[in-house]
Structure 1
């Protein structure tokens, strides 16, 4: 029907119709998470659709030095309309985890769809493998505040967590990100699946994000360290 309408329309309407055909052909956005065999896509889906991660650090506290220590951090891999796959955090050396990563920046982070309504809607316990989770290990690094990536990461965090704008300025918060060395997904029975890092960043998450709204692909600023 669209080609027929275009054929009888004026030139500017024809152009608009053709444009709409192109956009609709590119943007097909399912409302459910990826399938279990799409591990890289699942990892990206979880990271983008969750707003916080559990972060495990190597403790620098005297009584538990060298032990694992876990805390929670608000996170973002980009605004709702865009996914980079990179986990950005707003860190300060004034909290326990911040002190830990100053001494040893090796970390593991975990995000899970238990944060969303998905698992509850399926009656999946958070520990049920089908309540998908991604566990990523690597090093937490500071994003250089003289780069475009710094502003992107900060905007990505503030868009998801507006109250961050009002956090104390004397706490010296900084934008950090995890440089992944291993990415694991648990989203079904049969154990953890290791995700190739290149496959992770190549996974086309753009057509999965914001399931009720359609967006074009968005260019990402230059990213360091990857």
Structure 2
């Protein structure tokens, strides 16, 4: 992995997932997410460079800067957490990465945050519904509990982002999430009241976020990235 060209141009990277949320238990995987830039001249050739790279051992996903921006502007919860991590979870920070953190709020919009977070949570619930009454293998039960924890987290974080414009990555009372996961693993219907509660909360609360994200801010940042990596000296940060 270390010899891959994308690794040499990582702008921002950190530990995400269960470890970041404070939900990891012994044996949990450690997931990393980051964004990188291609050399600008590569964007002018016959073939477009790859926009994502997924590595294992350790698990690390990298998105190219433009793709990351598109996903973030769409409210994608997975990529959005990268710019809201606690400082101690960042493993790579560059000046361009810090500039992106600085404009993170401008990437948000009310409808896209609601649709993304509540939509992802609803998808998790649909997965739970297909697994019945808990009378399945231990491995399936474990996956069900994990999906339930993330359903609860997505609802909580999405509503916080929607109503305050801020995102807290580490959850309070991790044991509550694990207890909820076990309840849902035993009976998937246990997730239904929580999802209904958050759907009502989104409906009842006014968002502080604008109707549309500020694409101009993302565009300006991305053009700075392209200008930096246009010259060969941009190869190394």
TM-score (norm 2): 0.25
Greater fraction helix: 2
Structure whose alpha-carbon radius of gyration is higher: 1
Greater fraction strand: 1
